[in-house]
Amino acid sequence: MNTKIPTWVDGTLTPVDKLEAHVKAMRHKAVSVFILHKGKVLLQQRAAGKYHTPNLWANSCCTHPHWGEDPQDCAIRRLREELGITGLDPVWVEQLEYRADVGGGLIEHEVVDLFVIRCDTLPKIDLNPEEVQATRWADPAELDTDIARTPEVFTPWLRIYLRDHRASVFGA
Do the strands 57-58 and 40-46 form a parallel or antiparallel pair, or are they unpaired? antiparallel
**61 catalytically annotated:** no
Binding site for Mn(2+), by residue number, is 22, 28, 64, 108, 110
The amino acid present at 119, given as its one-letter code, is: C
Binding site for Mg(2+), by residue number, is 82
List, as one string, the DSSP characters of 86-100: -S---EEEEEEEEEE
Catalytic-role residue among 20, 61, 62, 69: 62
Strand ranges (E), 104-145: 106-119, 132-138
Closest CA to 33 of 149, 127, 112, 151: 112
Q: What are phi and psi of 6, to 5 degrees?
A: -65, 115
Catalytic-role residue among 20, 110, 142, 152: 110
Binding site, by residue number, is 22, 28, 64, 82, 108, 110
**62 catalytically annotated:** yes
Residues known to be catalytic: 62, 110
